[in-house]
Structure 1
């Protein structure tokens, strides 16, 4: 079990490299992954179940003392990223399927990768996990509502279909994870130790499947999509940080808000796009999954140096 836990830590720490590697392999050999499309939704549900196993109410006592920080983070998350996505689609005059894909990833809640980056950056980890949990829990309402509001100009959007999908693939697995944790107590510790391995395998499979299914379209407009994804992610980091600064938050919370706003649950975006729109609409989420782990690691390193300089 120790060897498996060690492997899980290694794979979790090198997450971005695995995503990038298998995305390239899927692009070069799409036939290897195209048959895995049906596994996207179950794999994402497995990741959400794992998140439920790790949630503990007692970790958030400090966060509860400053509820306005949480409120600010949630508003920033669901205003900045959807708004920037819509503006980028207008500015680049993206075709309908790509525009819907960019807006979809912008409307998703923050991703669990941001928690790891916040820890590496010496940010407020309890606040980070709380933001991820709260935005994920209210996502079934806000995500489909925002997609309907912003993306229906490009393609037809069904609020109820998206709502039920998120309910099944996010809220239900998290609730089952919480119940398992309550019933099994400390016995879930071994499962939690291998969660990074399960999460990485799941997200890598989702990204590789999406890339394989859209290989021709990526080859045709890959640079454009990548430019939009990089700008989207960068504006999320910048606006998240400066929002926290404008409201007078300390450095720890400024770093946390920056990473939480800029890093999305791109696995959810890819799953929703694949089920409700098309493989091409899932490409922005897949590329976002690759890029935000690379950019997040770079930014976390920079933020960590900020903390060290402040300590000196």
Structure 2
């Protein structure tokens, strides 16, 4: 029953995620009263997702150090720079700039593992990237935000680091350690049962945090539409840049696939939590709208990657035959 529920939730995520946002806007008073519950939901999501990970992923650090380094640089340096200049040029609003940078600077999404698996990417490398990026997040995100925020907004960096530690790092380590201790059995016996509740938690986070931006969404204007369009363009650009860079950097389609999804997807829920906790509500807009497109774009680029793989492998086989 739980497995069937999880399958249906996974299938309908592109619809249920924006629906959760709409519900949150309509019932903004209820969502506002439940904001305190969001970090707990996120910690649970992180723990449930980490039950499938193990320290085996660190072996990829020895085999593919440059691949991991390049992906981390893409996630936390290249895309934040792009988001900063694009948002600054278009909006001239510092709060929105912070939101756009935060939206792309947050860790890669745990769900990227699902798409890498579907597209036959390098699963061990994917797990290594997710685990390493997760462990780096309490230090990388505050540093980036400190640079972008400057002196305009006072941010409690220590509290932010502590929040990231207990929302991301500690649940992740707990899940990985349990997986190691049980030799992978807990993911089969317990992890899969938690999967549908993890997705329901995501919908809950979107719904609750949508109450914060309800005043902006209810008053649809040119700025709101522009924010949504720019969020979409940045999201597509992230995937497209990953595919283009991957094509020139690696010949192995498994690594390119892994780069595509770990570089294109984000753990948006943590960005929403950070934005609502430490910044004015307007900052949340670029972050939360990212949830509208993430799963849909992942599905679209799955088809793109299939066509790319087919073309690349045909060309490679022809070259091998000619040589």
Q: Same fold (TM over 0.5)?
A: yes
CA–CA separation in structure 1 for the residues paired with 2:12 and 2:131: 24
Structure 1 position 86, deviation (Å): 0.8
Deviates more, 1:56-65 or 1:170-179: 56-65
CA–CA separation in structure 1 for the residues paired with 2:153 and 2:147: 11
CA–CA separation in structure 2 for the residues paired with 1:179 and 1:17: 34
Deviates more, 1:240-249 or 1:83-92: 240-249
Compared CA separation, residues 204 and 105, structure 1 to 2 (3 A)? same
Compared CA separation, residues 56 and 5, structure 1 to 2 (3 A)? same
Three-state SS of the structure 1 residue aligned to 2:34 is: helix
- Equivalence for 1:111: 109
TM-score scaled by structure 1? Answer: 0.90
Structure 1 position 245, deviation (Å): 2.6
Contact 1:103–1:151 at 8 Å: present in 2 too?
no
Deviates more, 1:23-32 or 1:69-78: 23-32
Deviates more, 1:136-145 or 1:122-131: 122-131
- Structure 1: where are the runs of 5+ without partners? none
Indicate whether 1:282 and 2:284 are aligned: yes
CA–CA separation in structure 2 for the residues paired with 1:242 and 1:310: 13
CA–CA separation in structure 2 for the residues paired with 1:231 and 1:154: 27
- Equivalence for 1:167: 165
CA–CA separation in structure 1 for the residues paired with 2:248 and 2:153: 36
| 1:97-146 deviation digits (Å, cap 9, x = unpaired) | 32222111222111112222222333223222221111111111111101
Compared CA separation, residues 59 and 134, structure 1 to 2 (3 A)? closer
The count of aligned residue pairs is 310
Contact 1:122–1:307 at 8 Å: present in 2 too?
no
- Equivalence for 1:292: 294
- Equivalence for 2:124: 126
CA–CA separation in structure 2 for the residues paired with 1:35 and 1:305: 47
Three-state SS of the structure 1 residue aligned to 2:284 is: helix
Compared CA separation, residues 60 and 193, structure 1 to 2 (3 A)? same
Which of 63, 69, 72 is equivalent to 2:70? Answer: 72
Contact 1:229–1:287 at 8 Å: present in 2 too?
yes
CA–CA separation in structure 2 for the residues paired with 1:94 and 1:209: 28
CA–CA separation in structure 2 for the residues paired with 1:94 and 1:256: 35
1:1-312 paired onto structure 2 within 5 Å: 3-58=1-56, 61=59, 64-152=62-150, 154-185=152-183, 186-220=185-219, 221-310=223-312
| 1:141-184 deviation digits (Å, cap 9, x = unpaired) | 11110111123265333332221211121111112222333444
TM-score scaled by structure 2? Answer: 0.87
- Equivalence for 2:319: none
| 1:45-72 deviation digits (Å, cap 9, x = unpaired) | 1111113311123356466422221122
Compared CA separation, residues 291 and 145, structure 1 to 2 (3 A)? same
